[in-house]
Amino acid sequence: MFEGFTVEDVRVSDAALHVRHGGGGRAVLLLHGHPRTGSTWHAVAPALVDAGFRVVVPDLRGYGRSRGPSPTADHRPHSKRALAGDMAELMAGLGHDRFAVVGHDRGSYVGLRLALDHPDLVERAVLMDCLPISEHLRRADARFATAWWHWFFFAQPGVPERVITADPDAWYAGDPAVMGQENHDEWRAAVRDPDVVRAMLEDYRAGLTIDREHEEEDRANGRRLTMPLLVLWSLRDDLADLYGDPLEIWRDWATSVAGRGIDSGHHIAEEAPRELVDAIVPFLRRGGDA
């Protein structure tokens, strides 16, 4: 995987990030979701390099081979603000003062926070398979809780750690024929690590508490994304089934938003990498609005 990329561990404030980066041209930061690592982008990142971009692929704090501080009662070390701060510092350290961000699933929440907190750094944003956390929770009903029950299970203290680490191979299913063998092996090693499992759960605990508070403060203060935003979602997942057109919700958060569904299951970068690259490259190259 990632032939020709530099692979290194980069220290940023109170975290150590495992990072792959390569290529040349305008910088693009790729942020993975749960329970993946940066290797989920193994088919997408080289295609973006071939398209003329400088691509940076980290493991998020606590995921994969990246490490952050121990959890705290307020979940602040695993908040999206903390993870977004990691990304801002990482990109500055690599010499990128302006860049695009592409996030999937939990990585989209980090991308959203990065764009809200550091609009001077993010020139374009692609957010995949997500709405703002506060929008999910504001609309939460029995249908949502049934479909997305893991949000509330992961937030429980102590219990999910014991359940998941007792048999991570049974809890997290992945097919190497779809994921790619090396990506599958890296992901499988990560989810067998109790420290990684704890950090991934803290990501969700932060989501229901401090991250929600930060988003509600944004809305109260009228903060919106001012850079062009592209929203993509999996047609074989349930985002549109739950909410209808996701763009209608995102228009309250961004001044320039476009997007569409992609014929894929949830892990678009693994299941439909060519379609994903075809969707994002024109947007990343384009100047002006979405």
Q: Which residues are catalytic?
A: 105, 266
Distances (CA, A) of 248 to 135, 137, 220, 231: 12, 16, 19, 11
The number of residues in the chain equals 290
Check: CB of residue 9 under 8 Å from CB of residue 19.
yes
Composition of the chain by helix, strand, coil, percent to 5: 50, 20, 35
* C-alpha–C-alpha distance, residues 206 and 6, integer Å: 31
* C-alpha–C-alpha distance, residues 99 and 215, integer Å: 23
Other beta carbons within 10 angstroms of residue 114's beta carbon come to: 28
Other beta carbons within 10 angstroms of residue 18's beta carbon come to: 19
* C-alpha–C-alpha distance, residues 50 and 53, integer Å: 7
